Chains A and B, each alone.
Chain A
Amino acid sequence: MSSHKEYEILNRKILTPSFVILSVLTAIGFYFIGVRFFEGIGAVTNLSDAYPWGIWIAYDVATGTAIACGGYAVAILVYILNNNHYHPLMRSAMLTSLFGYGLAGFSVVIDLGRFWNMFNLLKPQFWQLNSIMFEVAMCVMIYTFVLFLEFSPAIFEKLQESENYGMARLSEKFSKFLDKYLIYFIILGITLPTMHQSSLGSMMIIAAFKLHPNWHTPILPLLFLINCIFIGYSIVIFESITSSFKFGRPYETSQLAGLGRIALFLALGWIAIRFTDLFVRNQLMEAFSFDFYSVMFLIESALIILGSVILMSGHNLNSPRKLFISASLIVLGGGLYRFNTYIIGFDPGVGFSYFPAFGEFMITVGIVSFEILLYSIFVKIFPVLPAVHKSKAIGGSNV
């Protein structure tokens, strides 16, 4: 159990001013969730038959799960390329992924009109294998469970120190079991996001006559897949620097520089594929025509390119501030790409418009606040963050 030394519990008070603010936002969100369940989706949203999906799907699900791809992106490095250098970042990345996906799933339940029927997805007689939604739903459900398993060593590590002898023994047993077999689930946890993140792109292919050609392309699945990986690395940089800053801990500079380099490579590769695709589809001229859709495309591309350019200098890669700025830019640009694909580039016809209602917006704010709240509680209860003086050491643990 050498992973024991690799991570530590953050020994701070749970009740802080930011905790109170986040709790209030969460409470407001849950109030509107209550309204939604008693009075219908129409009572809290501006959704309509023309815009059946709003920010709950475009942000919480399509963008939120990409932002929750940190665990996936780092797992590729640590477990597939076996680069243990990044192992200290693993647990916090897994934890944010777990909350990201868990709460995306929660948003879906709020968004589903007939949520009590959702278990029909699990009944083989109703499976509809042509449906990309079906594939995404199944993958996301299984992946959320896998993420929980992947994070569970942290919980069992804590429970092993429990004063309850039975609980401690049981946790030890589970830990040993996980030590041995968790790798198979971790690899499943890499396969599943590869599938559903690309399918999140495929999902909009069927809206061929509604999605603006700046975004509609047969290679949507490829673009979504690469997009979530570079967002994943960038968000790990973002989170690590934020929590180091917030909790006054040393920056994981050497790991972050490495992640920055990978994010840069993937982001620029993605931009190259994106522009090539627009060129091949004869859409490049229109993408630069400076109409509304063109401007949205340009903002999205500019954010990613700017973030990447900053990362090009070795000096910047070692500066937490520059790393933070560029990671934020790439996450914003990459996230905007998904937002554009799901909402802004979605044009159901003349005379329709959508802008989220206050309640609808507050539900998303509430869910994100709840996510941050849970994260800040978990790092203070379970060993999640890299152990301070050991952060550069390579743990002997395999998982």
Chain B
Amino acid sequence: MKKSRRDFLKICGAAALGTAVPAAADASSAKVFTDNKDFSMLYDSTICVGCKACVTTCKQVNDLATEQGKFDKNNLWDSPEKLDSNTRTIIKLYKESPEKYAFVKKQCMHCAKPSCVSACPVSAMQKSDNGIVFYDKDICIGCRYCLIACPYNIPKFEWEKPIPKIVKCDMCKFTNFKQKGITACAEVCPTDAILFGKRGDLIKIAKKRIKDHPDIYIHHIYGEHEVGGANCIYLAGVDFNKLSFPNLPNPSAAALSENIQHTIYKGFIAPVALYGTLCFVAFRNRKSKKDGDNEQS
């Protein structure tokens, strides 16, 4: 009965941490919310204890190589420092003073209007109906336009390999999610700092937490509206800029880019019209020139 043991630990943890874990009570009852269309994750920085179980489990489940820390001559620990081609998710620490610090989890945001999907020339980046943005290496040509397009710098490339691929979080679409219906990081999180569920439900939970504890939280759900909204949403007790989240406006740049492109190329009329016009002008000028030549001679 792994589940109940886990729940027991959770309750103990919540009790021990007391008010420092304001929202644990909401979450302990159900980890997976199923209501509306898109699958989502809610990460609450105020609950996260920085144990990095999510990072380790992600690597195990998704078969990613470990990284050796500089301090670790015998390679005993996996010590990734940042998101890279071996690390789909990472926990980082923001520290202002010994008392004031916050953890933050980084991974693909699974945008509602993903720039990487819009940029990819061969549909190797796709968004599935349940909101997961995923990657198919067998189609990918390796142009890395997705890296350019992503406002969060999420897709990573295997620079050191002659046969490289792009690496990014796909909510365990082909691994844990497929088998158990939940992402590995959310499943393993001991404090429920990561909730997995449907987006609408998680937004409700996030709003309730802010409303119930307005003193603890920054009054902003990061990912709710940024670049058209993301499926990974965040709560935090410190400013999101300090957790290295960029200030992004609501509309996705992909929407602007697609608008301009589709306006120019609507129904492929403009290129055909251009070709036709050029032909017309060329032949007319040619004819008038010939007529002119004939008159002269």
CA–CA, A184 and B282, complex, Å: 10
- Asked if A325 CB lies within 8 Å of chain B CBs, one says no
- Asked if B1 CB lies within 8 Å of chain A CBs, one says no
Select one of B147, B254, B275 contacting A191, CB under 8 A: B275
Select one of B84, B121, B155, B161 contacting A40, CB under 8 A: B161
- Asked if A177 CB lies within 8 Å of chain B CBs, one says no
B279, closest chain A residue (CB)? A187
Count, chain A residues at interface, CB 8 A: 64
Select one of A52, A133, A137, A218 contacting B260, CB under 8 A: A218
Q: Are A205 and B157 in contact (CB under 8 A)?
A: no
CA–CA, A184 and B276, complex, Å: 10
When distances are taken between beta carbons in the complex, the residues of chain A under 8 Å from B138 are: 117
Q: Given A130-B258, A195-B271, A210-B148, do A49 and B143 touch, yes or no (CB 8 Å)?
A: no
- Asked if A37 CB lies within 8 Å of chain B CBs, one says yes
When distances are taken between beta carbons in the complex, the residues of chain A under 8 Å from B141 are: 112-115, 117-118, 120-121
- Asked if A9 CB lies within 8 Å of chain B CBs, one says no
Selecting from B101-109, B112-120, B192-200, the interface stretch reads B112-120
Task: Name A's interface SS.
Answer: helix
- Asked if B289 CB lies within 8 Å of chain A CBs, one says yes
Q: Given A183-B282, A184-B279, do A133 and B145 touch, yes or no (CB 8 Å)?
A: yes
Q: Are B253 and A206 in contact (CB under 8 A)?
A: yes
CA–CA, A126 and B141, complex, Å: 11
When distances are taken between beta carbons in the complex, the residues of chain B under 8 Å from A188 are: 275
Selecting from A25-33, A77-85, A253-261, the interface stretch reads A77-85
CA–CA, A187 and B279, complex, Å: 7
Q: Are A37 and B148 in contact (CB under 8 A)?
A: no
Q: Contact flags (1/0) for B262-297 with A, using CB distance below 8 Å? A: 101100000100110011011001100100000000
A394, closest chain B residue (CB)? B293
Q: Are B282 and A132 in contact (CB under 8 A)?
A: no
- Asked if A43 CB lies within 8 Å of chain B CBs, one says yes
When distances are taken between beta carbons in the complex, the residues of chain A under 8 Å from B257 are: 132, 202, 205-206
Shortest A111–chain B CB gap in Å is 8
CA–CA, A29 and B90, complex, Å: 38
Q: Are A133 and B121 in contact (CB under 8 A)?
A: yes
Q: Are A130 and B143 in contact (CB under 8 A)?
A: no
- Asked if A50 CB lies within 8 Å of chain B CBs, one says yes
- Asked if A348 CB lies within 8 Å of chain B CBs, one says yes
When distances are taken between beta carbons in the complex, the residues of chain B under 8 Å from A187 are: 275, 278-279, 282
CA–CA, A84 and B282, complex, Å: 12
Looking at B123, B274, B282, the one whose CB has the most chain A CB atoms below 10 A away is B282
When distances are taken between beta carbons in the complex, the residues of chain B under 8 Å from A132 are: 119, 257, 261
- Asked if B162 CB lies within 8 Å of chain A CBs, one says yes
Q: Are B142 and A117 in contact (CB under 8 A)?
A: yes
Shortest A230–chain B CB gap in Å is 19
When distances are taken between beta carbons in the complex, the residues of chain B under 8 Å from A114 are: 137, 140-142, 163-165
Q: Are A49 and B246 in contact (CB under 8 A)?
A: no
Q: Contact flags (1/0) for B200-224 with A, using CB distance below 8 Å? A: 0000000000000000000000000
Select one of B121, B162, B274 contacting A131, CB under 8 A: B121
Select one of A52, A79, A134, A202 contacting B148, CB under 8 A: A52
- Asked if A245 CB lies within 8 Å of chain B CBs, one says no
Residues facing B in A272-324 (CB within 8 A) are none
Select one of A38, A43, A127 contacting B123, CB under 8 A: A127
Q: Are B119 and A42 in contact (CB under 8 A)?
A: no
CA–CA, A92 and B278, complex, Å: 23
Shortest A170–chain B CB gap in Å is 28
When distances are taken between beta carbons in the complex, the residues of chain B under 8 Å from A128 are: 120-123
Q: Contact flags (1/0) for B141-180 with A, using CB distance below 8 Å? A: 1111101110101011111111111100000000000000
Q: Are A221 and B260 in contact (CB under 8 A)?
A: yes
B149, closest chain A residue (CB)? A206
- Asked if B76 CB lies within 8 Å of chain A CBs, one says no
Q: Are B279 and A207 in contact (CB under 8 A)?
A: no
Q: List 27 A-B contacts (CB under 8 A).
A: A38-B162, A40-B160, A40-B162, A40-B164, A42-B159, A47-B159, A49-B83, A49-B147, A53-B144, A112-B141, A114-B140, A114-B141, A114-B164, A115-B141, A117-B141, A120-B122, A128-B122, A131-B121, A131-B145, A133-B143, A134-B121, A190-B278, A191-B274, A202-B264, A204-B148, A206-B253, A206-B256
Sample of 6 more A-B contacts, CB < 8 Å, known A115-B142, A195-B271, A349-B153: A40-B160, A113-B140, A114-B165, A126-B139, A132-B257, A204-B148
- Which residue numbers of A lie inside 8 Å of B, CB to CB? 37-43, 45, 47-50, 52-53, 79-82, 84, 108, 111-115, 117-118, 120-121, 126-128, 130-135, 137, 183-184, 187-188, 190-191, 194-195, 198-199, 202-210, 218, 221, 346, 348-349, 398
Closest 4 CB pairs of A and B: A113-B142, A42-B159, A208-B253, A114-B142
